[in-house]
Amino acid sequence: MLRASPWFLLALIALALLPLLLPSYWLFLLTSMLISSMVTLSVGLVSGMAGMISLGQLSFAGVGGWMVAYFNANNLPIPFVLQVLIGALVAVPLGIVIGLPALRVRGMHLAVVTFGFAAVADLFFTILNFPGGVMGKPVLRPDFLSHDRSYYWFCLFLFALLVLGVNALYRSRLGSAWLAVKHSERAAAAMGLNVAATKLWAFAMSAFIAGLSGGLLAGQVGLLSATNFSPTASLILFASAIMVGARYPAGAVLAGMMAWLVPEVLGRLHLSQNLGNLIFALGTIAALKAGGGVFEVAARQKKPTATPLFSSPATLAPTTHTPTDRVVLEVQNLCVAYGQVQALNKVSFSLKEGQVLGLVGPNGAGKSSLVDALSGFTPYQGRVQLEGRSLEGLNAAQRARAGLRRSFQQDRTITELSVQAYLEFSAGRALPKEELAWALEFAGLTALGLGLHSLNMGTRRRLEVAGILLSRPKVVLLDEPAAGLSSEESLQLARQIASIPARYGCAVILIEHDMEVVRAACSEVVVLDFGSLIEAGPTTRVLSSPRVAAAYLGEEVLA
């Protein structure tokens, strides 16, 4: 779905008309800006959206340029447009190879790896030289692009396509997935997302965009050399992308323009063009201090647009659903060990259809280990069956897709998304208005267009639960959903949780410290202490059992 805002069209028309007014020097500069903007767009994709620092984007561009130069130097009968496209496609597998370390290596270490890649690519470009470079055989453009003006329009056309495409991607599920992976890989996997594929897509697409820019640069300047794609230049483009916030396509354009305009303006003021790089460096430091580039800070301060809903929420059933005897989740002899520490020791219990089962126990009893094991984040021994199907061998994302969903103790929601985008991402489908209205009521909200960053913690937690329920899971594991809520909010949440089986027909395991919440929400509880199951049964009986009281009071006294 390609959507173009009026601003985008206006800017496009202005950019298309500019060459008619400007002398050829400026035309060359404008073309360079477009090409640089593609590189910053690719930085925004891989680093801004997906959160993986890549300091070697220009090296992908170098590969695209190298291919075009190669075709040209060998007089291969391939049309120029196709040459550029092939160059971009050749950069893709390289992007995936450089992306592979990103599956294990993160943050600054990844920055070092990608910068290292830039240095190595530079070495290769220098030694091998760009084809045609030594004999002085420049890349020739076809007749219809031979004029600088037509070439500029050609670049503009491709750039507009890229922006539209990237915009559509950012609004798509893949875009939300990139943001999800940036925020928390665990939470993303718990939503059923293939984290590795999501990361590799980001590298592949950004390498494609960067590769395209390299091919276009070959057409623009004719003769390429390693200096066109130096690691330092990569670094500076990365810095300007950070400084502006290239996650937004408009930010990428601004960053790409500044890369040429700032030195140009400085030159006209008879100042050293070196000042430009210093400005970028200082701007980057300021952006890091502010926690985001210009566009990111602006987006955070933008007033949310309230989208009114004209649909009444689907009503919640007032009565609690009585559990049947059909077992949904069967846990047998579950053991988890961290080195010598036995976190869970032969825990067995079953969850029946329509049941809200409380899982309680003092700190360190193994509750979180249990959730991590069931949801596929921690290796374990024993058996877990979901509706008769063995879950062993399934990873976290596969378990989520099979219908076993979990929430997290800490807030792991994706703050860059709007309420609606988050809900639809978590549900894994486009939601009809009634279900959105239900989710809003569940979270105590009134507008879908709000950004999650503007919501308080309690609302985000309830939104997380609502999103999980909308994915229509079979079993939900709620890991202390009431943490950080007031007692009134907690009880309200407890009543909502109690009504989940009736509304969505899924069973719930509720991990909770607050006994009021457990009493209000759960028909039965199991109690863990030191990794073993010490009691199980109806809530009121178990909670008044002396063993349970001892396990808890012991902990209370110690604390």
CA dihedral 31, 34, 39, 44 (to 10 degrees): 170
**Please, which of residues 215-254 interact with other proteins by CB under 8 A?**
230-232, 235-236, 238-239, 242
Q: Is 124 in the site for other proteins (CB under 8 A)?
A: yes
Nearest-10 crossing angle of helices 419-427, 433-443:
110
DSSP SS3 for 390: strand
**Please, which of residues 282-321 interact with other proteins by CB under 8 A?**
282, 284-285, 288-289
Tokens 């990139």: give the residue: 178
Q: Sign of the C-alpha dihedral, residues 166, 171, 176, 179?
A: positive
The pattern of x and - marking residues 369 through 398 that bind other proteins according to CB under 8 A reads ---x----x---------------------
Among 104, 268, 302, 303, binds other proteins (CB under 8 A): 104
In the bound state with other proteins, the residue whose beta carbon lies nearer, of 42 and 72, is: 42
Distance CA 203, CA 485 (A): 39
In the bound state with other proteins, the residue whose beta carbon lies nearer, of 230 and 539, is: 230
Distance CA 438, CA 316 (A): 9
- SS3 of 1-70: the string is CCCCCHHHHHHHHHHHHHHHHCCHHHHHHHHHHHHHHHHHHHHHHHHHHCCCCCCCHHHHHHHHHHHHHH
Distance CA 500, CA 429 (A): 20
Six-digit token pair at 498?
A: 């109690």
In the bound state with other proteins, the residue whose beta carbon lies nearer, of 120 and 549, is: 120
By CB under 8 A, the count of residues binding other proteins is: 46
In the bound state with other proteins, the residue whose beta carbon lies nearer, of 278 and 430, is: 278
Among 81, 119, 140, 197, binds other proteins (CB under 8 A): 119
Six-digit token pair at 372?
A: 């991590």
**Please, which of residues 161-200 interact with other proteins by CB under 8 A?**
184-186, 189
Among 33, 41, 91, 111, binds other proteins (CB under 8 A): 111
Q: Is 123 in the site for other proteins (CB under 8 A)?
A: yes
Q: Is 54 in the site for other proteins (CB under 8 A)?
A: no
In the bound state with other proteins, the residue whose beta carbon lies nearer, of 284 and 420, is: 284
Distance CA 372, CA 509 (A): 13
Helix residue ranges per DSSP H, 100-194: 107-128, 148-171, 173-183, 185-190
In the bound state with other proteins, the residue whose beta carbon lies nearer, of 184 and 539, is: 184
Q: Is 45 in the site for other proteins (CB under 8 A)?
A: no
Nearest partner of 350 among 537, 159, 97, judged by Cα: 537
In the bound state with other proteins, the residue whose beta carbon lies nearer, of 169 and 279, is: 279
For the chain, the residue count is 559
Nearest partner of 224 among 316, 125, 311, judged by Cα: 125
**Contact of 442 with 496, CB cutoff 8 Å:** yes
In the bound state with other proteins, the residue whose beta carbon lies nearer, of 264 and 434, is: 264
Q: How far is the CB of 117 from other proteins (least distance, A)?
A: 7
Q: Is 53 in the site for other proteins (CB under 8 A)?
A: yes
Q: Which residues pair with 101 in a beta bridge?
A: none
In the bound state with other proteins, the residue whose beta carbon lies nearer, of 290 and 549, is: 290
**Contact of 496 with 508, CB cutoff 8 Å:** no
Q: Is 106 in the site for other proteins (CB under 8 A)?
A: yes
Q: How far is the CB of 81 from other proteins (least distance, A)?
A: 33
Q: Is 364 in the site for other proteins (CB under 8 A)?
A: no
Q: Which residues pair with 335 in a beta bridge?
A: 381
Among 368, 407, 418, 471, binds other proteins (CB under 8 A): 368
In the bound state with other proteins, the residue whose beta carbon lies nearer, of 178 and 438, is: 178
HSE-CB at 502 with a 13 A cutoff on CA atoms is 15
Q: Is 280 in the site for other proteins (CB under 8 A)?
A: yes
Please count the other Cβ atoms lying within 10 Å of the Cβ belonging to residue 317.
Answer: 11
Q: Is 534 in the site for other proteins (CB under 8 A)?
A: no
| Interface region with other proteins, contact rule CB under 8 A, candidates 99-107, 257-265, 432-440, 464-472 | 99-107
For the chain, state the CA radius of gyration.
28
Q: Is 133 in the site for other proteins (CB under 8 A)?
A: no
Q: Which residues pair with 386 in a beta bridge?
A: 329, 389
Among 13, 74, 109, 298, binds other proteins (CB under 8 A): 109
The pattern of x and - marking residues 471 through 510 that bind other proteins according to CB under 8 A reads ----------------------------------------
Q: Which residues bind other proteins (CB under 8 A)?
A: 53, 55, 101, 104-109, 111-113, 115-117, 119-120, 123-124, 127, 184-186, 189, 230-232, 235-236, 238-239, 242, 272, 274, 277-278, 280-282, 284-285, 288-289, 368, 372, 377
